[in-house]
Chain A
């Protein structure tokens, strides 16, 4: 047992003991989804930094801990955003926090979107529902150095117009040069003038150069499955497609096994994977 002690201590200090972060603000994006903005400048391990695609473990005191993707700008790590769907006890507890409240924060954990690899290439981002949140940091990064990348297409599907996240930013990104944002909803109403239909329908409206495009996909697993099929139908190889996988993460460092996905741990090896690393696993129903 003793030979493991130093490693355990290192793990505890590095990853398992939460730092305290202060709630700066809560922004309600939809009726049941909010962005928790945390001030990280006073944290023990400040300055805090993260890469687009990574996630944190957020602890609501007295309730529990939850893994949440970081949804804010990596260039502004002092104000850390997490967009959260309020559905369970932890997320409900987080949604009731006030300015100045404290939360426990562990992270950042996991792999990142391929920002370096995307340089000089066209980029297709496909998001479904709250899956836009883990993609928002990479969009900020791409937009900040817009000249480094080719054409950027953002395809976004949500349940209804009322469930759309970051509406103002979607409009702003759409106005950027050589950048196109196309939004669709599964269920519209008579006031909605945009597209209605699943996100995969949007591929009919764009042209992808399969040799120069990198795709990044995040959303519910079923949505990702069909999106990946559509991308491959349009000639993109699995090496050019990146997905952000979802499983229930607990420890964040590949120890507890809650997020095991075949030989992979989503929290440590992912959540962002090149498709060829996980494609065969996604075909297995029991995983």
Chain B
């Protein structure tokens, strides 16, 4: 894909909504277009977070090793979403395993390249932090909701609990 085409495709991803042309070009210089076959592992817990992904199609599973319980799948990430924020927070290591549940089309963004850009261009760095903060806030909210186990056998309800 030509850089111009890549910039245009990136612009369509919800994570980059309304990002200005100049910043988008900066991001494009660190981006590539990838296709992952079903079952492909993207990264493993503890590995260096060298990349983050903007998913275009397909789904990715995030898993944690649960000892005797085996791998525990904690979340799936799909089209329009972002995979990976460990690249932006020291010590830049993945907290989960990730693999493609089905064929995945995504933009892969080189984290080392991006960190360098962030440190040399504070405007760009702020923009990335701002966008990732929103992602983190949403993830935190979703995790809290998940922890609440809202579908459990809590008392109350319409009366079906009697």
Q: Is B34 an interface residue (CB 8 A)?
A: no
The docked-state distance in angstroms from the alpha carbon of A129 to that of B71 is 25
Q: Is B70 an interface residue (CB 8 A)?
A: yes
Residues of B within 8 Å of A57, CB to CB, are 159
Residues of B within 8 Å of A188, CB to CB, are 73, 76
Which of B61, B79, B153, B160 gathers most chain A CB within 10 Å? B160
Q: Is A40 an interface residue (CB 8 A)?
A: no
| Given A195-B59, A200-B145, A226-B145, A67 and B150 contact (CB-CB distance below 8 Å) | no
The docked-state distance in angstroms from the alpha carbon of A67 to that of B158 is 6
Residues of B within 8 Å of A184, CB to CB, are 76
CB of B73 within 8 A of CB of A91, answer: no
Q: Is B89 an interface residue (CB 8 A)?
A: no
Q: Is A47 an interface residue (CB 8 A)?
A: no
CB of A223 within 8 A of CB of B159, answer: no
- Write the nearest CB–CB distance from B151 to chain A, whole angstroms: 4
CB of B160 within 8 A of CB of A159, answer: no
Q: Is A287 an interface residue (CB 8 A)?
A: no
The docked-state distance in angstroms from the alpha carbon of A248 to that of B159 is 5
CB of B161 within 8 A of CB of A197, answer: no
Q: Is A213 an interface residue (CB 8 A)?
A: no
Residues of B within 8 Å of A68, CB to CB, are 158-160
Q: Is B146 an interface residue (CB 8 A)?
A: yes
Q: Is A204 an interface residue (CB 8 A)?
A: yes
| Given A186-B146, A198-B142, A219-B150, A55 and B158 contact (CB-CB distance below 8 Å) | yes
Number of interface residues of A (CB under 8 A): 48
Q: Which residue of A lies closest to B142 (CB)?
A: A198
Choice from B73, B141, B149, B160 contacting A87 with Cβ under 8 Å:
B160
Q: Is B156 an interface residue (CB 8 A)?
A: yes
Q: Is B75 an interface residue (CB 8 A)?
A: yes
The docked-state distance in angstroms from the alpha carbon of A112 to that of B112 is 56
Give B134-147 as 1s and 0s: 1 = Cβ < 8 Å from A's Cβ atoms.
00000001100110
Choice from A129, A195, A197, A249 contacting B150 with Cβ under 8 Å:
A129
- Write the nearest CB–CB distance from B105 to chain A, whole angstroms: 15
Give A200-231 as 1s and 0s: 1 = Cβ < 8 Å from B's Cβ atoms.
11001100000000000001101100100000
CB of B78 within 8 A of CB of A196, answer: no
- Write the nearest CB–CB distance from A130 to chain B, whole angstroms: 7
Residues of A within 8 Å of B151, CB to CB, are 128-130, 157-159, 163, 186, 219-220, 223
- Write the nearest CB–CB distance from B138 to chain A, whole angstroms: 8
CB of B75 within 8 A of CB of A196, answer: yes
| Given A190-B71, A195-B59, A248 and B150 contact (CB-CB distance below 8 Å) | no
Q: Is A193 an interface residue (CB 8 A)?
A: yes
Q: Which residue of B lies closest to A218 (CB)?
A: B158
The docked-state distance in angstroms from the alpha carbon of A8 to that of B35 is 71
The docked-state distance in angstroms from the alpha carbon of A55 to that of B150 is 22
- Write the nearest CB–CB distance from A145 to chain B, whole angstroms: 28
Within 8 A of B (CB), among A76-103: 84-85, 87-91
Which of B75, B145, B154 gathers most chain A CB within 10 Å? B145
Q: Is B67 an interface residue (CB 8 A)?
A: no
| Given A68-B160, A130-B160, A198 and B152 contact (CB-CB distance below 8 Å) | no
The docked-state distance in angstroms from the alpha carbon of A166 to that of B162 is 23
Q: Which residue of B lies closest to A58 (CB)?
A: B159
CB of B150 within 8 A of CB of A88, answer: no
Other than the known A195-B78, A220-B150, what 10 A-B pairs have Cβ atoms closer than 8 Å? Answer: A69-B160, A85-B153, A85-B161, A129-B150, A196-B75, A197-B146, A200-B142, A222-B145, A247-B158, A271-B158
Q: List 6 A-B contacts (CB under 8 A).
A: A55-B158, A66-B162, A84-B160, A85-B153, A205-B78, A223-B145
Interface, chain A (partner B; CB < 8 A): 55, 57, 64-69, 84-85, 87-91, 128-130, 157-159, 163, 184, 186, 188-190, 192-198, 200-201, 204-205, 219-220, 222-223, 226, 246-249, 271
Q: Sorted from nearest, which 10 A-B pairs have the closest CB atoms?
A: A67-B159, A129-B151, A159-B151, A90-B162, A220-B150, A66-B162, A246-B158, A88-B162, A198-B145, A196-B76
